Amino acid sequence: MAQSPSYLDPRSGRTWPLDHPRWRSDDGAPLMLTELPGLRRDAIAAGTRSLWRYRSAFPFGPEVAPITMGEGCTPLVPRRIGGAEVHLKLEWFAPTGSFKDRGASVMLSGLRAQGVEAVLEDSSGNGGAAIAAYAAAGGMAATIMVPASTSPAKIVQMKAAGAAIELVPGTRQDCADAALAKAEAIFYASHNWHPFFLHGTKTLAYELWEDLGFRAPDNVIIPCGAGSNVLGCDIGFGELLRAGEIARLPRLFAIQPANVGPIAAAFAAGSDTVVPCTVAPTIAEGTAIAKPIRLAEVLGAIRRSGGAAVTVTEAEIETALFSLARTGIYVEPTCATAAAALANLLADGTIRPGETTVLVLTGTGLKATARIGALMGMEI
């Protein structure tokens, strides 16, 4: 009989039971969960039109009532980019407009079942919007700490859901540091720290597998800040491999802006720890994480898949943003990084036109109207 899942410190191997809420190890390290067996296609709840169709792959059972608003089941659409036919996964077709709803739904459902009634989050926007909305849907209180430079549209979205908002001067990292200091007073339900969140983002892998006729793509290109989608895909496709539903892992490509690319810098250096890299302002605000807490785990996921971590310039992001818009795909600059990287990966032969390649487009351009307008010379 399979063991029940537990919290896992991957650095020490120590575990803790899931019956009490916990967001880090006793010595302050980020946690994962012990491996789950995965889901076979006959276990999909086909009548459920949300990511909860995969609930038998979650780390908790039917006793956990879902906090759900129909997240998941996002469109997968074909487009020709850079001379290749690819698939675009439109993750902004989610209740709050970004992929973060996947993690928020699963994480807050699990925490509410553990007795958590109030949560703290820090975010550059989309994560905070998701936590604010799903906390409201689940009858939980939420405090969201955001950098003062965050797009006003995202702050308004969080406040509209009833969350208490605290603006933090300085960088995205300053905001994360401020949240850690406050985490003694309110349970820290961080999308970057809590392992339940990754078991929401892993449903992206399950969904791509189902979208593609129960097969894995060759390549998944993912905008990457702290790496929750990279880790989610690693967990999800890993479970499908263990379940015998796929024969190999897809290559995962983590894309970062050249202005803030710590994961790409460590990957290029062959390191598992932080190496010196540029930290400068970027229009891809959702990926502006200078010190990703799961650096070693994200690098392990990329290497295990045979993929890579690469950077794109601000000019390349802007070009990709407007190229997508002129095919009808209006995204925020953060996820235009995936399209910018695709052109480079095709040009250098890393990805070939005949392969099945998915670009994960994480958030709608409507969340970044002022920034996109500024790129067009418009004052909004």
Mean pLDDT, range 49-77, rounded to an integer: 97
pLDDT tens figures, 249-263: 999 999 999 999 999
Q: Given a cut of 60, is residue 320 above it in pLDDT?
A: yes
| pLDDT (0 to 100) of residue 2 | 54
Distance CA 1, CA 106 (A): 25
| pLDDT (0 to 100) of residue 154 | 84
SS3 label, residue 253? strand
pLDDT tens figures, 222-237: 999 999 999 999 999 9
| pLDDT (0 to 100) of residue 369 | 87
| pLDDT (0 to 100) of residue 367 | 84
Nearest CA to 285 among 144, 124, 157? 124
Q: How is residue 363 annotated by DSSP? A: B
Mean pLDDT, range 208-220, rounded to an integer: 98
Nearest CA to 127 among 25, 151, 299, 202? 151
Nearest CA to 226 among 194, 186, 179? 194
- Residues 176 and 213 sit within 8 Å (Cβ to Cβ): no
Q: Is 83 exposed, middle or buried (0-12, 13-18, 19+ CB in 10 A)?
A: exposed
Confidence tier at 134 by pLDDT (50, 70, 90): very high
Ordered alpha helix ranges (H), the chain? 100-113, 126-137, 152-160, 172-182, 195-201, 203-211, 228-242, 262-269, 295-305, 314-325, 333-347, 369-375
pTM passes above 0.85? yes
| pLDDT (0 to 100) of residue 172 | 81
Looking at the chain, the whole-number percentage of residues with pLDDT higher than 90 is 89
Looking at the chain, the whole-number percentage of residues with pLDDT higher than 70 is 99
Q: Given a cut of 90, is residue 1 above it in pLDDT?
A: no
pLDDT tens figures, 269-296: 999 999 999 899 999 988 988 899 999 9
80: number of Cβ within 10 Å: 10
What residue ranges define each of the domains in the chain, with the CATH number in brackets? 76-98+197-375 (3.40.50.1100), 100-194 (3.40.50.1100)
Mean pLDDT, range 174-203, rounded to an integer: 95
Distance CA 380, CA 372 (A): 10
Report DSSP letters for 164-219, one per residue: EEEEESS-HHHHHHHHHHHTTTSEE--TTT-HHHHHHHTHHHHHHHHHTTS---SE
Mean pLDDT, range 85-92, rounded to an integer: 97
- Residues 370 and 380 sit within 8 Å (Cβ to Cβ): yes
pLDDT tens figures, 329-378: 999 999 999 999 999 999 999 999 999 999 999 999 988 888 899 999 99
